[in-house]
Amino acid sequence: MSFITGQVTTSTGAVPQISTIWSNRDVLDTIKVRWSVGRMNYKVEPGIYAVGTPDENSNVFVTANFKLSFDHLRRALEGMNAWVLVLDTKGINVWCAAGKGTFSTKELIRQIDRVGLKNIVNHHKIIVPQLGAVGVSAHEVRQITGFSVIYGPVRADDIPAFIRAGMKATKEMRAVKFSFWDRLKLIPVELANGAYYLILIPALFIILSGLYPKGYSIDLAFHDGLRSVFILIVTYLTGCAVTPALLPWIPFRRFSLKGLLTGWLAALLLMYFHVLGQQTLEIISWFLMMGSLSSFLAMTFTGTSTFTSLSGVQKEMKTAVPVQIGMAGLGVIGWILAKFIVL
Amino acid sequence: MNGLVYLRNVVTLKLDQQKCNGCLMCTIVCPHDVFAIENKKAVIQNKDFCMECGACEKNCPENAITVRSGVGCAAGIINGLIRGTEPTCDCGSEGSTCC
Ligand code: SF4
Ligand code: SF4
């Protein structure tokens, strides 16, 4: 492992010492994770690690064994002497793992026990990232292990300031933000998630595009097909990239309505440039399909956003999904009909 | 807050003030500033900001808080429907968030 630089000896044995500086490889890993390239493979061996030359009075920071979580933590500990306790979260980040129950009270207790934390430090404090609170119950950990959980800041980068303030996080550090930049960083994942459909659906449209009243034309399949694919890509980008990026500035609270609005705006734009075809029926069909697709894609962003509740999303989906399916169905039927009848 | 608030009046968060001992834990763990302390008791000040993550319920030593926690994620709900389970996210490992 490239981040291990040496060893520190403790009463329980040797502990690997880790670097606080990112290598080129670490930077590359981060980019690959953003673009979902082999994203399941970025695991760190669970257990205890040393930053600098920690002793029995040094702070203990807990994190997940997702490499990005681990990397952000060790980078934030630059210049400190500290212990890092990595839980086995199956390579998933703190928040997801806490929600899924792998970053949990049980796993924390298990690792404290396994590495013999009581013999490594002589204090009773462990610093857990605040988002881990979804899976960890501080009072239960204290009852069973004697260690008090102190919830650190949401973002690892705030750790130095948190330590300087005597382990107090400001309101700022406690809040999960979802800035323009945060949203932009998530767009690659959104785009990559749908990549599979990005091949399947356009292929279908190209094949169907060849239909015309007298039979089938490869030529038509090519021309009309490419036009359809272009429209689909525009819709895809509208739902998956433009809508998330502009989220707070698009009216409506429901993500599906936000997506419907942006989808229709995109459709208007394309109509203006005559991309949606000449026939009224085809244009109407495109409006139905584009609105539905963009709305659905925008709705899936609820999973990546940081402020949507389960009850809220369920309520939204109850009305949105039937409407989306209906619109898409009508759109496809209309689009095919438009090839045979002139309206 | 941040201009990002989801639907109104749908959240299942409940607080039993009778049980509260004013330990502050809920104000610490909540990522959306939902709780405040008034007269040594917790109060829900921003209910609509709640994302039902469940951190407050899990960390309240007096069991004064209940919330139906889960993933507020459309894909997760669809996943759950397909598999006939609770909504679950199939997220591999995104930087700071879920799904
Ligand atoms: S965590 Fe529970 S006991 Fe503590 S302040 Fe909040 S509601 Fe009250
Ligand atoms: S469920 Fe999560 S967001 Fe809602 S009040 Fe509790 S800690 Fe805050």
* CB interface of A with B, residues 259-298, below 8 Å: none
> Which residues are CB-neighbours of A139 under 8 A, at least 6 positions away?
B59, B61
Q: How far apart are CA B81 and CA B85, in angstroms?
A: 6
Give burial (CB, 10 Å; 0-12/13-18/19+) of A330.
Answer: middle
A89 close to B43: Cβ distance less than 8 angstroms:
no
Mutate to test the interface with B, among A103, A108, A297, A310 (most CBs of B within 10 A): A310
Q: How many helices (H) and strands (E) does chain A have?
A: 15, 9
> Which residues are CB-neighbours of A240 under 8 A, at least 6 positions away?
A187, A190, A191, A194, A297, A301
pLDDT digits (tens, 9 = 90+) for A278-290: 889 999 999 999 9
Which chain B positions have a beta carbon within 8 Å of A299's beta carbon? 74
* pLDDT at residue A305 greater than cutoff 80: no
Alpha carbon of B25 to ligand 1 centroid (Å): 6
| Domains of chain B, each with CATH number or no CATH | 14-83 (3.30.70.20)
Q: Which two tokens stand for residue A142?
A: 């204290």
pLDDT digits (tens, 9 = 90+) for B39-96: 999 999 988 888 888 999 999 999 999 998 776 666 666 666 666 666 655 544 333 3
pLDDT at position B96: 35
DSSP bridge pairs for A216: A211
Nearest to B10 among A33, A189, A309 (CB): A309
Highest mean pLDDT among A43-47, A144-148, A227-231, B5-9: A144-148
pLDDT digits (tens, 9 = 90+) for B27-42: 999 988 999 999 999 9
The protein residue whose alpha carbon is closest to atom 7 in ligand 2 is B30
Helix (H) or strand (E) holding A87: strand A82-87
A270 close to A234: Cβ distance less than 8 angstroms:
yes
Q: Percent of chain A having pLDDT more than 70?
A: 92
Q: Which two tokens stand for residue A190?
A: 């959104």
**Average pLDDT across chain A, whole number:** 87
* pLDDT at residue A13 greater than cutoff 90: no
* pLDDT at residue A156 greater than cutoff 80: yes
- Type of residue at A169: A
Residue among A249, A243, A262, A250 at smallest CA distance from A304: A243
| Domains of chain A, each with CATH number or no CATH | 4-174 (3.40.50.11600), 180-338 (no CATH)
pLDDT at position A308: 79
Alpha carbon of A304 to ligand 1 centroid (Å): 29
Alpha carbon of A137 to ligand 2 centroid (Å): 14
ipTM of the shown complex: 0.77
Q: Which two tokens stand for residue B51?
A: 């994302």
pLDDT digits (tens, 9 = 90+) for A50-79: 999 999 999 999 999 988 889 999 999 999
Query: Rounded to whole angstroms, what are the CA distances from A217 to A203, A211, A248, B54?
Result: 15, 6, 45, 57
* pLDDT at residue A118 greater than cutoff 90: yes
A335 close to A277: Cβ distance less than 8 angstroms:
no
Give burial (CB, 10 Å; 0-12/13-18/19+) of A204.
Answer: middle
* pLDDT at residue A200 greater than cutoff 90: no
Per-residue confidence band for A201, with pLDDT thresholds at 50, 70 and 90: confident
Q: What is the mean pLDDT of residues A121-140?
A: 94
B13 lines ligand 1 (CB under 6 A): no
DSSP-derived secondary structure for A230-266: HHHHHHHHIIIIIHHHTGGGSS-SSHHHHHHHHHHHH
